[in-house]
Structure 1
Amino acid sequence: MANWSINRVIALVIGIIFLILGIVGFVTPPENSTGVQATFGIFDSDTIHNILYVVTGLLGIASAFTGYERHFNQIFGIVYVLLALLGLIPQLYFPAGSYGDDKGLFLGLTHLNAGDHILHLITGLIAAAVGFFAKGTLRNPGPNARARHSL
């Protein structure tokens, strides 16, 4: 595993971030008026949300070690940018008022808030940009690189 591409690094980092968010979401107690967890006090989460993050994290980590990192970044990027943009449409949250002053669940499935939208947009844009435009490996010139170039 000597060749580390930028796609591989990004897939692994995204995988680790989402896996951590998903696991921490499972152990975070309900904190806000909607009765859902606020992971790190920033991201709304519930069981479905945490499962999606754990699955995303595991897919990112697995792709980094199986050669599918570029495909992961491309698909993850498109899906999460779309999720971030669709999350801004109030009509996609239902049933309204089902959790205190909650406006509803995104597509009737999970809670999302501004922190989630920002996370999804930033990670989605980074993954898509790297997945579609970056190629090649990261090179470590090693200790003898200067000696070779100075000859």
Structure 2
Amino acid sequence: MNDTAITPTMIFSFQGTGVSFYGQPTDNLKLNYTFDGSRSRVAETNFTRGIPGKTGVRLWGVENIAATIHSVTLIPTAGQPILDYIVVTPFDYASLSEKILALDDTDSVIKYSGSWTSKSGDTLSGGLAYNDTRHGSTQAGDNFTISFNGANHYML
């Protein structure tokens, strides 16, 4: 009988110039990854130790990569990865028909008018703000606009 363990992996293909994986880290979570068929490398995890139980934590990602189709494989080597969502930074002319895109509150396509304040680095009950930033206002009449080409939009 062969005593070999099967290593769990997650493979994700995308069109873009960046990708980030968000979820709920465990204290001892460690990941390796391959990128576009490269050798396995240690993933530099981007979260503060000691925040298990928080959701929306950026576990790992890569930015400023070539504008083309990519494939990433995540390989957990310790701890339990709990993946919630993946954010892809698309490039101009990427095939985005029928795709869902998310904007951070700091994205330049969002135009704020009024007395908006921005915050970062603080925690919310049970989770973290998307990309650890948020905008808020208590003034009646303050507003924001988003220009886009598409069929639908949703606000969360």
TM-score, normalising length: structure 1: 0.25
Q: Which has the higher helix share?
A: 1
Higher relative contact order, structure no. (Cα contacts within 8 Å, ≥ 6 residues apart): 1
TM-score after normalising by structure 2: 0.25
